[in-house]
């Protein structure tokens, strides 16, 4: 089946997915919340006995699911009744966190794990509303509250929420969550990746309490044609059939004005100020702002800047910028496993700053919100990536729906972050007609949701006119992107490092070029000559030769070598060298810098 035009796919997206999940509340950072983090009870369920009966019929589809449906959290009513599970007698696990690194027996496990959290909660006002908010859960998540199904979310790296006001009790609430991290062909990402498939409730879980009518969403940004003008919108949720005033205050800009919503609760925003200090790398200026409605107040810190391209330049606030970057995986440098804390984020971004970076590529999926919040504060530009990775089921409408939903949730969460300048659609995807349509539709969707940022994707290079010593980008999607990005591994997968001396480049597109990946592996502490694989000297030599080669590309406007820190991958099993780790990091998993770190650091310092 060929993909349908974008309009019909978006209709499928909001009909098919919207029935199962609710619009995202943005800025969970600054809302009234109650943490559900900590110890949760869990049950490993590889046969999904808690979800299906022995005929593989879902309990939740039965008129009477019975007590053996795990989401009912049942107990025997008498000593003779058969109930074959008990959350309260089961082991505990920490949330947030992946199950792989917390429980040795689950290190390689892919399948279903059930979580249960019991709690009391009394609203601060009887008329208020309450939502349960998940920052991320990998991969397919079914959520039940006090025995009632709330919905299903698909995708391992974006937030989602459900309203529980009508089900909430002052005492003895229980939240049961079924998390299934099995890789599937039609998934996004698909079966084959080069990172660890961490399962579980990997980021924070919280309750968000709001008024009956509250500020659900907003977007503020500089006008693309007038950097003295602030445009955007604010959206209410609740009883919004009439007009409602919403006050916006930005004290440092002497802005204090009121907008009136339309009948759907939305107000468009247009403001002008000649006092704006633009967010920049040297001065990442953030403004405190406050939205107020009749029942709600919401604060944030937002920077104002423009990002654009002109011919082969990337322009930040109208000035050319060279992106001195590094790629990063979301693994904790502090305790191992999936990263999720502000401390994890600060360590990773601090290493990037020490390396000389002004830019990070957060690969290959949406990272946690701490990363972009801190990047805003630290003056680091950010590439955010949708997990369309390698070979996706391009002709499957459900796969597109999944990718589009994850992209929509990513943009919804991070659209107010000044540090974010690029939405990436994919990584290393083989060209075909259906793939080109799939990615083009995603790019069109991204631009419709956020016309203020650049579109890219990590493409692949090839020989120019059949000459293996001359490389180019031959990809129809290169015509769609704003920044031409590609991965290349000359010296690692393609010859030895000195091969770079014989390679030249012909880039025919009149666009800025960003090398989204290059690099090679080294075991920290393993030394030898520069021709011995896996030594720090080989990786050092590769970086030296690659940087000289790439500097000959006249459109080169940045790079994000692969990668900052060694990370776990089940594809990498060479004993005594890899042992389940991808060794392309410039820093080991123990936080020790390799020799190539200083080669790249010197190169970036020379770019100041």
| pTM of structure | 0.95
Residue 17 has pLDDT above 50, yes or no: no
- Cα separation, 583 vs 568, in Å, equals 9
Band the pLDDT of 29: cuts 50, 70, 90.
Answer: very high
Share of the chain above pLDDT 70, in %: 97
Tens digit of each residue's pLDDT (9 = 90 or more) over 294-338: 999 999 999 999 999 999 999 999 999 999 999 999 999 988 999
Looking at residue 118, what is its pLDDT? 98
Fold (topology level) of 309-606:
TIM Barrel (3.20.20)
Residues 487, 458: contact at Cβ < 8 Å? Answer: yes
Looking at residue 18, what is its pLDDT? 36
Phi and psi at residue 435, to the nearest 5°:
-65, -45
Looking at residue 224, what is its pLDDT? 86
Residue 278 has pLDDT above 50, yes or no: yes
Q: In the CATH scheme, what architecture does the domain 31-210 have?
A: Sandwich (2.60)
Helix 342-355, helix 369-378: angle, nearest 10: 40
What 3-state DSSP class applies to 424? strand
In the chain, which segments carry CATH 2.60.40.10?
214-308
Residues 503, 549: contact at Cβ < 8 Å? Answer: yes
Band the pLDDT of 15: cuts 50, 70, 90.
Answer: very low
Tens digit of each residue's pLDDT (9 = 90 or more) over 253-277: 999 999 999 999 999 999 999 999 9
**Residue 14 DSSP code:** I
Mean pLDDT of the chain: 95
Looking at residue 241, what is its pLDDT? 73
Looking at residue 21, what is its pLDDT? 64
Average pLDDT over residues 143-169: 97
The residues, ordered by sequence, that sit 6+ positions from 448 with a Cβ below 8 Å of its Cβ are none
In the chain, which segments carry CATH 3.20.20.80?
309-606
What 3-state DSSP class applies to 445? helix
- Tell me the pairing of strands 214-222 and 140-145: unpaired
Share of the chain above pLDDT 90, in %: 94
- Cα separation, 348 vs 585, in Å, equals 12
Residue 173 has pLDDT above 70, yes or no: yes
Q: Can you list the pairs that 440-447 forms with residues at least 24 positions away whose Cβ atoms lie under 8 Å?
A: 440/477, 440/480, 441/3, 441/5, 441/6, 441/9, 441/400, 441/404, 442/386, 442/388, 442/400, 442/403, 442/404, 442/407, 443/480, 443/481, 444/6, 445/6, 445/10, 445/404, 445/407, 445/408, 446/407, 446/411
- Cα separation, 34 vs 292, in Å, equals 21
Residues 349, 371: contact at Cβ < 8 Å? Answer: yes
In the chain, which segments carry CATH 2.60.120.260?
31-210
Residue 543 has pLDDT above 80, yes or no: yes
Fold (topology level) of 214-308:
Immunoglobulin-like (2.60.40)
Instruction: Give the number of other Cβ atoms within 10 Å of residue 484's Cβ.
Output: 27
């Amino acid at each position: 089946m060929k993909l349908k035009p974008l309009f019909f796919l978006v209709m499928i997206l909001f009909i098919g997915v919207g029935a199962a999940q609710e619009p995202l509340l943005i800025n969970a950072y600054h809302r009234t919340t109650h943490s559900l983090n900590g110890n949760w009870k869990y049950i490993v369920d590889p046969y999904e006995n808690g979800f299906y009966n022995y005929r593989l019929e879902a309990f939740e589809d039965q008129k009477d699911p019975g007590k053996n449906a795990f989401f009912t959290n049942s107990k025997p009513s008498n000593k003779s009744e058969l109930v074959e599970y008990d959350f309260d007698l089961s082991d505990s696990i920490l949330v947030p966190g992946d199950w792989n690194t917390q429980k040795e027996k689950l290190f390689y496990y892919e399948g279903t794990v059930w979580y249960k959290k019991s709690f009391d909660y009394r609203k601060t006002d009887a008329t208020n509303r309450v939502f349960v908010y998940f920052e991320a859960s990998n991969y397919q998540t079914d959520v039940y509250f006090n025995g009632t199904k709330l919905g299903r979310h698909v995708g391992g790296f974006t937030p989602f929420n459900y309203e529980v006001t009508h089900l909430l009790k002052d005492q003895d609430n229980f939240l049961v969550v079924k998390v299934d991290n099995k890789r599937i062909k039609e998934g996004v990402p698909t079966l084959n990746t080069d990172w660890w498939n961490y399962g579980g409730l990997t980021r924070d879980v919280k309750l968000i309490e709001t008024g009956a009518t509250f500020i659900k969403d907003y977007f503020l940004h500089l006008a693309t044609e007038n950097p003295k003008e602030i445009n955007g919108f604010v959206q209410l949720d609740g009883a919004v059939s009439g007009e409602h005033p919403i006050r916006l205050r930005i004290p440092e800009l002497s802005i204090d004005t009121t907008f009136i919503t339309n009948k759907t609760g939305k107000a468009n925003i247009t403001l002008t100020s000649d006092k704006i200090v633009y967010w920049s790398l040297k001065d990442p200026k953030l403004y405190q702002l406050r939205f107020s409605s009749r029942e709600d107040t919401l604060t944030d810190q937002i920077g104002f800047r423009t990002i654009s391209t002109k011919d082969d330049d990337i322009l930040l606030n109208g000035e050319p910028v060279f992106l001195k970057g590094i790629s990063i995986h979301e693994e904790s440098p502090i305790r191992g496993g999936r990263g999720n804390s502000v401390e994890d984020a600060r360590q990773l971004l601090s290493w990037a700053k020490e390396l000389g970076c002004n830019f990070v590529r957060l690969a290959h999926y949406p990272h946690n919100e701490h990363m972009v919040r801190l990047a805003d504060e630290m003056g680091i530009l950010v590439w955010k990536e949708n997990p369309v990775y390698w070979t996706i089921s391009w002709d499957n409408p459900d796969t597109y729906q999944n990718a589009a939903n994850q992209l929509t949730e990513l943009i919804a969460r991070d659209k107010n972050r000044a540090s974010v300048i690029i939405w990436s659609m994919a990584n290393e995807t083989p060209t075909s007609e259906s793939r080109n349509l799939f990615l083009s539709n995603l790019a069109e969707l991204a631009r419709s949701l956020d016309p203020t940022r650049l579109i890219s994707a990590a493409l692949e290079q090839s020989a120019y006119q059949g000459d293996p010593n001359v490389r180019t980008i031959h990809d129809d999607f290169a015509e769609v992107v704003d920044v031409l990005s590609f991965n290349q591994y000359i010296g690692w997968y393609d010859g030895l490092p000195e091969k770079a001396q014989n390679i030249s480049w012909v880039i025919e597109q009149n666009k800025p070029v960003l090398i989204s990946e290059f690099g090679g592996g080294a075991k920290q502490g393993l030394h030898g000559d520069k021709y011995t694989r896996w030594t720090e000297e080989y990786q050092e030599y590769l970086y030296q030769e690659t940087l000289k080669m790439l500097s000959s590309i006249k459109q080169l406007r940045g790079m994000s070598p692969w990668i900052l820190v060694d990370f776990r991958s089940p594809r990498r099993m060479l004993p005594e060298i890899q042992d389940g780790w991808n060794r392309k990091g410039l820093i080991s998993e123990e936080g020790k810098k390799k020799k190539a770190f200083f080669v790249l650091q010197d190169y970036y310092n020379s770019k100041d």
